Amino acid sequence: MKLKIGIIGAGRIGRLHAENIVTSIREVEVRSIADAYVNDNLRKWADSIGINRVYENHKEIIEDPDIDAVLICSPTDTHSQFIIEAARAGKHIFCEKPIDFDVKRIEEALDAVDVARVKLQIGFNRRFDHNFRRIKEHIENGKIGDIHIVKITSRDPVPPPIEYVKVSGGIFLDMTIHDFDMVRYLTSSEVVEVYAVGEALIDPSIRQYDDVDTAIVTLKFDNGAIGTIDNSRRAVYGYDQRVEVFGSKGCLITGNDKPNAVEMYGQDWVYSEKPKYFFLERYKQSYIDEIRSFINAIYEDREPEVTGLDGLKPVLIGQAAKKSLKTGMPIRVEVV
Amino acid sequence: MKLKIGIIGAGRIGRLHAENIVTSIREVEVRSIADAYVNDNLRKWADSIGINRVYENHKEIIEDPDIDAVLICSPTDTHSQFIIEAARAGKHIFCEKPIDFDVKRIEEALDAVDVARVKLQIGFNRRFDHNFRRIKEHIENGKIGDIHIVKITSRDPVPPPIEYVKVSGGIFLDMTIHDFDMVRYLTSSEVVEVYAVGEALIDPSIRQYDDVDTAIVTLKFDNGAIGTIDNSRRAVYGYDQRVEVFGSKGCLITGNDKPNAVEMYGQDWVYSEKPKYFFLERYKQSYIDEIRSFINAIYEDREPEVTGLDGLKPVLIGQAAKKSLKTGMPIRVEVV
Amino acid sequence: MKLKIGIIGAGRIGRLHAENIVTSIREVEVRSIADAYVNDNLRKWADSIGINRVYENHKEIIEDPDIDAVLICSPTDTHSQFIIEAARAGKHIFCEKPIDFDVKRIEEALDAVDVARVKLQIGFNRRFDHNFRRIKEHIENGKIGDIHIVKITSRDPVPPPIEYVKVSGGIFLDMTIHDFDMVRYLTSSEVVEVYAVGEALIDPSIRQYDDVDTAIVTLKFDNGAIGTIDNSRRAVYGYDQRVEVFGSKGCLITGNDKPNAVEMYGQDWVYSEKPKYFFLERYKQSYIDEIRSFINAIYEDREPEVTGLDGLKPVLIGQAAKKSLKTGMPIRVEVV
Amino acid sequence: MKLKIGIIGAGRIGRLHAENIVTSIREVEVRSIADAYVNDNLRKWADSIGINRVYENHKEIIEDPDIDAVLICSPTDTHSQFIIEAARAGKHIFCEKPIDFDVKRIEEALDAVDVARVKLQIGFNRRFDHNFRRIKEHIENGKIGDIHIVKITSRDPVPPPIEYVKVSGGIFLDMTIHDFDMVRYLTSSEVVEVYAVGEALIDPSIRQYDDVDTAIVTLKFDNGAIGTIDNSRRAVYGYDQRVEVFGSKGCLITGNDKPNAVEMYGQDWVYSEKPKYFFLERYKQSYIDEIRSFINAIYEDREPEVTGLDGLKPVLIGQAAKKSLKTGMPIRVEVV
């Protein structure tokens, strides 16, 4: 019998998961979707992919006894509350990142999950990306020995609207948070101290929201490794997502995915394609694979590949980075 | 209202098209599938993707008034007959390559299509590949000026079973035929003469079937360009599919797609991934896109992107190549 | 004591060898240089690099008892005669390619060398190139097993002046001859049959000299391997020199050398450098290394790395290619 | 008339410069060489490249009225003294980096140079490397707009002997100092603050000398840009020297130079070459070009391309990095 899923939040990411499940994860049924703003467009879309139940109130999903699991794709400030509600209703939970900006609320949510003994997976989809997963495999197979240096380059093609910047929690909590998760994933080690520098070089006006658009974060890990992450809100050549892990026996480097493998030799240059434009196309397959992994964790009754703790830790690192940027000092990451 | 499709032939490629339509081309309904050998496995698979009608006799599809179009995925020796039947029944037709090995039978089939004024698209899926399509675009945009030299490398990872070799029509009609189509597609020009050399270097036993497993074909085009295709039945490093077009103003080269972009720097070498293993994964998206293109040609009532003539021409080139290999002489390609 | 060398012919290549020896092969002394046209410019240049003896008559070098070896860098039609004279005088000989266009004269020259028991090395400098040498090493170490297919791309950045075309012997004897040598070097096998196609696509006027500027030559080797060479007189993006050897256990590919390793990511493309412009810079080091190898063959009293037979064979292949182009038929290569 | 040069210090780098001049910079004469330890080996070597005067006392060079310029290649602790002596004697000076570890002594040396109005060039040879120079050109031509982020990876293949570590001034002053110079060169901007993290991951015993073998330095520039440098004393795959400059209009990245362009496709991997092994081969041409540039500055009576201030600044940055590592705090770079 098919697992039945309800999706809370029908924005871009909620719809993406719905469509991915319908087309690619046929052992699951999307039974219902809820969104605070239901309109004809949403109903029509839901109908087109065969979702019959569209609710304004997410509780209709949480209280539906036929639902096995929920995907929480609503705004960040609802995540911890919805996790708690879903956990108490005995539903397995997939929740988009970040869980919350407030550590206490995250901990309450994780407690509720523990008590209810349901599965909780956090939406760090990049862990399922073919390039990063391959790097992880090589590390685990001992191909590069002990890790000495980790480097991540993560740059967006265009800055988000200023309205988003105001509420996003800042660059470290909305953008670098993916990289904080990635270094934990790749190194299997915890970040103990961060030092952040940053500037508003693309749009100085965001300085008024205590934010920057260009940043470098230096990291110390508990196993002695060190690392650096560099971010920019605007790489004119597209979405730049590279990782390098240097170890005692070698080095792993992944470049960007490109839309095609064509090189054009002309009179002045050899031309090749820019990286894939943005995260939806770049990480397309990873969004499918993370849900498949979540479904399998339920079927096989095992711990999800991205746990609640994995959701909490990057928030702690991000908050330390914010504090470092503000104070100009290296900051220890809070231990939980 | 959805276009209704019937699929004739439920082998690997017939099933692939069925699954692609179900998951990715939602504006079409796969109404029925027919195969000479229906068994439980087939029924179960059909059921799992929502195809309710499974027939032993393809006529049940061709005579079904609700069917708008058929995909002919049955063995090659049935293609021309099924095209004729489907055309007479007024169905649009997508037919796998090659149409036939017999030019006269191909011509009869194309005549039937002409008379019935239905759409016919041939399954040269590589025309829809992202790399080759990009090369075609650059050529059409004049990026490399006039074409002087075309080069194709096309090598399989493993030779087919000897049973297949016996009936496949030989390397030029089952393997190089894709490359013959590709050079026509890229150059928008016709091949007028071929010269083929070949050897049985991988498995000498295929010599008894007048076939080879390693071949080079030299081509002359009607616009003065020249070209070369090299084939091998076994590249130990995987599926090798490269194209190069050299012109008066530059050169276009496409390498292979790789499963990931990771490089591993070790004590002795820098290691990177081999090409994607074989055609189903390498050309995955092109199979979807060719059907989408066929569907659009029907909806928009325009000529398909791969016509009946495009199905005939590579067979003529392939037969000239066979004759060249046999005689050791360059052979003019028959004009139709 | 230093080996004493005389250089016959003070054109571009004669001067290049002189300068290379003076700067990089310090165990040798360039004692004298001869050229049919001695002027102030030549005397000044000779003086600047410390060559004190400049002659109009090459016999002054050949008859100089202090000379150990001569480099023959004069026009092709003098090569065989000068080889004979130098051999009879007991001098070791380095001779630029081709030895001659006339097979009989080549054979006479090789006979004279045999009789005199002097060393003769032919100037196929590309055998000493770092890329091709590495491919040869890998082949000899069995890295790709048996050779099945050899492919060479060899394209010049600009066509030679029409005056050169008239006397050069044609594209196969002045340009492809390097590639004919390369396939023999890489495969350690002989070419037994060739088929050539070609067109005058860049400058139709060269057709009046029975020449072409764009060509593809298909090759059969005596070990069963097959090959293809493609040439153009004008690649707008520079000097294009690539080799691919495909075998039963793998494939070796060398791309072009580039002036630097910089990639520029811009709004529209990723830009990288074109290949090095032309043969003097592309093969710079190989010119030094071939002379060093010749010198070592003398010091160590062993056979040079490029023998007289290596000078004869490519001429035979080139003549077969010319005949193939003219007749439109595959041509057996003459056996000597 | 040829410029006459004396070389002080006949260690590896002194001999390298001597040989480069003799073979490649023929408009200059190496008149003499001095070394505190003269032995037969040194005399023999000097003789072999035509240097007739070999002294134990560097003053014989400085006091020789025929000498126009000196190359100071002696141990670091002699540099500032020898600069002062040479300047007072009116000789132009090329001095290896670093000038000194003591800022006051550097300033005294620079003062002496100013007073004497002689040329002083510091041996930051990497500024003359083909890759980095190309990046600089693109930046100056506005290709990437304003600089936002600079990244340097600089890793050695093997750690130096522990004896060297004891006296080298530490990783930031013997290794990273090149990178500090490079960021100044590329950005045309000054480093105002640094933050350094580092560990002894390769050989813990160097901790006793207050040194590390793995380090990351974060940089703030006076134009608002930020940067990061990562170093390791041991990259098992060879010498890793990469630079990336990200700006408002694009990004420049240079990879490593490789010994050849061959790729080997095998059953398991695609293999390519590791970077060139170490600095002497990697930066071979840059050592020639820096001396040529110095000579030209003298002939053309213009400021050298690497000034005394360029020698001082990286020392100040290196000292700030040392202090940052020790204190765990970001440190302002001293302004001079």
**What is the per-residue burial (b if ≥16 Cβ within 10 Å, else e) of C247-270?**
bbebbbbbbbbbebbbbbbbeebb
Q: Indicate the pLDDT class of residue A121, thresholds 50, 70 and 90.
A: very high
Least confident range from A135-139, D20-24, D118-122: namely D20-24
The angle at the Cα of C82, spanning C76 to C87, to the nearest 5 degrees, equals: 135
Please check the confidence at residue A1 and state whether its pLDDT lies above 80.
no
Minimal Cβ distance to C264: which of D130, D250, D273: D250
Tokens 């004869």 belong to residue: C312
| 3-state secondary structure (DSSP) of residue C152 | strand
Chain A nearest-CA distance from C246, in A, is 21
**Once rounded to an integer, what is the mean pLDDT over residues B72-90?**
97
CB contact under 8 A, D232 and A148: yes
Q: Indicate the pLDDT class of residue C312, thresholds 50, 70 and 90.
A: very high
Burial class (CB in 10 A: 0-12, 13-18, 19+), D224: middle
Query: What whole-number distance in Å separates Cα of residue A98 and Cα of residue A311?
Result: 7
Q: Indicate the pLDDT class of residue D134, thresholds 50, 70 and 90.
A: very high
Tell me which residue of B303, B284, B308, B283 sits closest to B293, measured CA to CA: B303
**Once rounded to an integer, what is the mean pLDDT over residues C101-121?**
97
**Distance between start and end Cα atoms, chain B:** 40
What are the tens digits of pLDDT across the range C216-272? Answer: 999 999 999 999 999 999 999 999 999 999 999 999 999 999 999 999 999 999 999
pLDDT at B247: 98
With beta carbons less than 8 A apart as the criterion, state whether B142 and A266 touch.
Answer: no
Minimal Cβ distance to D216: which of A149, A235, A328: A149
Tokens 């630097």 belong to residue: C260
Sign of CA dihedral A9, A15, A16, A19: positive
Q: Which residues of B touch A264 (CB under 8 A)?
A: 138, 143-144, 250-252
Q: Indicate the pLDDT class of residue A336, thresholds 50, 70 and 90.
A: confident
**Once rounded to an integer, what is the mean pLDDT over residues D205-212?**
93
pLDDT at C26: 82
Q: E strand or H helix at C315, and its extent? A: helix C308-327
% of residues, chain A, pLDDT over 90: 92
% of residues, chain C, pLDDT over 70: 100
% of residues, chain B, pLDDT over 90: 93
Query: What whole-number distance in Å separates Cα of residue C111 and Cα of residue C92?
Result: 14
Which of A262, A284, A285 is the best mutation test for B, with the most CBs of B within 10 A?
A262
Please check the confidence at residue C177 and state whether its pLDDT lies above 90.
yes
pLDDT at A202: 96
pLDDT at B121: 98
CB contact under 8 A, A149 and D228: no
With beta carbons less than 8 A apart as the criterion, state whether B271 and B263 touch.
Answer: yes
Pairwise pLDDT comparison (A292 vs C280), residue with the higher score: A292
Least confident range from D37-41, D122-126, D163-167: namely D163-167
**Once rounded to an integer, what is the mean pLDDT over residues D267-279?**
94
User: How would you list the strands of the sheet with A3-8, edge to edge?
Assistant: A53-55, A28-34, A3-8, A69-72, A92-95, A120-122
Tell me which residue of C21, C23, C287 sits closest to D26, measured CA to CA: C23
Show Cβ contacts of residue A290 under 8 Å, excluding neighbours closer than 6 positions. Answer: A94, A121, A123, A124, A125, A127, A128, A305, A306
What are the tens digits of pLDDT across the range C189-227? Answer: 999 999 999 999 999 999 999 999 999 999 999 999 999
pLDDT at A27: 84
Show Cβ contacts of residue D268 under 8 Å, excluding neighbours closer than 6 positions. Answer: B274
What are the tens digits of pLDDT across the range A256-284? Answer: 999 999 999 999 999 999 999 889 899 99
What are the CA-CA distances from residue D242 to residues A68, A155, B283, D199, D255 (Å)?
Answer: 51, 19, 35, 21, 5
pLDDT at A2: 87
CB contact under 8 A, A264 and B252: yes
Minimal Cβ distance to D232: which of A149, A214, A218: A149
pLDDT at B329: 98
Least confident range from A22-36, A294-308, D172-186: namely A22-36
Please check the confidence at residue D42 and state whether its pLDDT lies above 80.
yes
**Once rounded to an integer, what is the mean pLDDT over residues B318-323?**
97
pLDDT at C27: 84
| 3-state secondary structure (DSSP) of residue A94 | strand
Instruction: List strand residue ranges (DSSP E) for B9-146, in order.
Output: 28-34, 53-55, 69-72, 92-95, 120-122
Please check the confidence at residue C1 and state whether its pLDDT lies above 80.
no
What are the tens digits of pLDDT across the range B304-314? Answer: 999 999 999 99
Minimal Cβ distance to A271: which of C235, C267, C269: C269
Least confident range from B317-321, C1-5, D72-76, D88-92: namely C1-5
**Once rounded to an integer, what is the mean pLDDT over residues C19-30?**
90
CB contact under 8 A, D266 and B235: no
pLDDT at C336: 83
What is the Rg, in whole angstroms, of the alpha carbon atoms belonging to chain D? 20
With beta carbons less than 8 A apart as the criterion, state whether C325 and C213 touch.
Answer: no
Q: Indicate the pLDDT class of residue B118, thresholds 50, 70 and 90.
A: very high
Chain B nearest-CA distance from D168, in A, is 27
Q: Quote the mean pLDDT of chain A.
A: 96
Which of D134, D254, D262 is the best mutation test for C, with the most CBs of C within 10 A?
D262
Neighbours of B171 (CB within 10 A): 30
Show Cβ contacts of residue B293 under 8 Å, excluding neighbours closer than 6 positions. Answer: B121, B128, B304, B305
**Once rounded to an integer, what is the mean pLDDT over residues B142-169?**
94
With beta carbons less than 8 A apart as the criterion, state whether B229 and B214 touch.
Answer: no
With beta carbons less than 8 A apart as the criterion, state whether B241 and B153 touch.
Answer: yes
The angle at the Cα of C263, spanning D185 to D244, to the nearest 5 degrees, equals: 40
CB contact under 8 A, C255 and D267: no
**What number of C-beta contacts closer than 8 Å exist between A and C?**
39
Please check the confidence at residue C331 and state whether its pLDDT lies above 80.
yes
Chains touching D by CB (3 or more pairs below 8 Å): A, B, C
pLDDT at B167: 86
Q: Which residues of D touch C264 (CB under 8 A)?
A: 138, 143-144, 250-252
Minimal Cβ distance to B270: which of D266, D268, D272: D272
Chain A nearest-CA distance from C243, in A, is 17
Please check the confidence at residue D1 and state whether its pLDDT lies above 80.
no
Q: How is residue C134 written in tokens?
A: 């590495």
Please check the confidence at residue B165 and state whether its pLDDT lies above 90.
no
Minimal Cβ distance to A224: which of D201, D220, D251: D201
Q: What is the DSSP letter of C36?
A: S
Please check the confidence at residue C166 and state whether its pLDDT lies above 90.
no
Tally helices (H) and strands (E) across chain C: 12, 15
Please check the confidence at residue A86 and state whether its pLDDT lies above 80.
yes
pLDDT at C24: 87
Q: Which residues of B touch C149 (CB under 8 A)?
A: 214, 216, 230, 232
**What is the per-residue burial (b if ≥16 Cβ within 10 Å, else e) of C304-314?**
bbbbbebbbbb
Tell me which residue of A161, C145, B267 sits closest to D271, measured CA to CA: B267
What are the tens digits of pLDDT across the range B15-56? Answer: 999 999 988 888 899 999 999 999 999 999 999 899 999 999
Please check the confidence at residue A23 and state whether its pLDDT lies above 90.
no
Q: Quote the mean pLDDT of chain C.
A: 96
Please check the confidence at residue B1 and state whether its pLDDT lies above 80.
no
Q: Quote the mean pLDDT of chain B.
A: 96
Pairwise pLDDT comparison (D333 vs A50), residue with the higher score: D333
* Chain D residues in contact with chain B using a Cβ-Cβ cutoff of 8 Å: 235-237, 240, 265-274
Q: Quote the mean pLDDT of chain D.
A: 96
CB contact under 8 A, A267 and B249: yes
CB contact under 8 A, B260 and A254: yes
Q: Where are the alpha helices (DSSP H) in chain A?
A: 12-24, 40-48, 59-62, 76-88, 103-116, 130-140, 162-167, 171-174, 176-187, 279-282, 284-299, 308-327
Neighbours of C280 (CB within 10 A): 13
In single-letter form, the type of residue at position B40 comes to D
pLDDT at D207: 92
CB contact under 8 A, D235 and A216: no
Q: Which residues of D touch A199 (CB under 8 A)?
A: 148, 224-226
**What number of C-beta contacts closer than 8 Å exist between A and B?**
83
The nearest alpha carbon in chain B to D275 belongs to B270
CB contact under 8 A, A214 and D220: no
The nearest alpha carbon in chain C to B155 belongs to C246
With beta carbons less than 8 A apart as the criterion, state whether A106 and A313 touch.
Answer: no
Please check the confidence at residue B285 and state whether its pLDDT lies above 80.
yes
Query: What whole-number distance in Å separates Cα of residue B320 and Cα of residue B177?
Result: 11
| 3-state secondary structure (DSSP) of residue B302 | coil
Query: What whole-number distance in Å separates Cα of residue B324 and Cα of residue B333?
Result: 10
Which of D147, D149, D237, D326 is the best mutation test for A, with the most CBs of A within 10 A?
D149
Chain B nearest-CA distance from A85, in A, is 33
